[in-house]
Amino acid sequence: MKIDELELRRVAMPLVSPFRTSFGTQTAKDILLVRVVVDGEEGWGECVTLPDPVYSPEYTDGAVDVIRRVMAPALAGVEFAGAHMIGELLGHIKGHRMAKAAIEMAVLDAELRAAGRSFARELGAVHTTVPCGVSVGIMDEIPRLLDAVDAYLDEGYVRIKLKIEPGWDVDVVRAVRERIGDDVQLQVDANTAYTLRDATHLARLDEFDLLLIEQPLEEEDILGHAELARLVRTPICLDESITSAQTAAAAIRLGATSIINIKPGRVGGYLEARRIHDLAVANGVPVWCGGMVESGLGRAANVALAALPGFTLPGDVSASDRFYKTDLTEPFVMRDGHLTVPTGPGLGVAPIPEVLDELTTWIEPLRM
């Protein structure tokens, strides 16, 4: 195999409503897409960077730069056996996992389209549908949050995730739990907003029977998470801290996490995500698929990943209309709280040309 064409494209996708977390508020998504042609077959990848390095060290302009100046030249004219070699071919480049993941995803899409195989089959999916959870951002007031939660439950979402930060946590969770009752799955996500000094305060969340507290401390504080896990009853789930199967193994061994949120972009691609899944299953650790407000391209791949056997908790694999009025692909529509796993070749979806053209803000073909 050889990459004949590699094109970078940015699209601007307005959100249906602002999405606020502890590190900022999004009103639109500036998405970097990678299009490749491999031996005549087209494939698409989606880079999940944000405009600024606030979730991870990576950011979109940086991803453009490293793909343009370093990654594309490293792959130009190189023959390889399959997408599984992309990580090795780019292995000399430190970090930049989200950029690497986007290229790997595009090459894997092209490879599987040519072979007539789906992402789900390639990754090892065992389910035809996956349950949908929804991530609910920080809002100005609790009544508005309760209305939003009510609406998501009415739509059929089977799990609610609340973004939290200091000052928007215990009282908020109490209000939501009282509104939705004890039968609805509820979890919280801090996006590194707390320190170990907040352990006593975070322990107040134990009374609400949460599935988990996601990434309460900063990403490098593995030992702090291990200590926090001994001080609270609610299971600790790591997100930002898990960047590879190696870091996942260390976190499990140290007792820093009993659940893992797998985000393929954060760990360098869907093949590394599968390795983390396999590691977690071997250690009896549940996993779930996190989201980065992807378009239908990234959503298709995430749904395929979430259909693997170790994904026993609902992930952030919401319907297209959770974030976008118009998706780049045919929309993912939730039915009975689930999304259907695509079965077509590759991702099983592709950009709708007229929608892609309308939302595109910039294109740059790279020499291969």
Report the C-alpha gap between 340 and 333 in whole angstroms: 8
Task: Write out the H or E segment, with its range, that includes residue 257.
Answer: none
For 175-206, b/e burial (b = at least 16 CB within 10 A) is ebbeebeeeebbbbbbbbbbebebbeebeebe
Can you tell me which residue has the tokens 């502890």?
22
Q: How far apart are CA 83 and CA 187, in angstroms?
A: 35
Q: What DSSP element (H or E) covers 305?
A: helix 296-306
Q: Which residues have a catalytic role annotated?
A: 163, 263
* Residue 69 to residue 6: CA distance in whole angstroms: 13
SS3 333: coil
Helix (H) / strand (E) element for 263: namely none
Residue 133, burial from CB neighbour count under 10 angstroms (0-12, 13-18, 19+): buried
CA distances from 64 to 60, 70, 206, 362 (A): 6, 10, 43, 11
Contacts of 196 (CB under 8 A, 6+ apart): 217, 221, 224, 227, 228
Please give the C-alpha separations between residue 205 and each of 216, 234, 327, in angstroms, as whole numbers.
Answer: 12, 8, 36
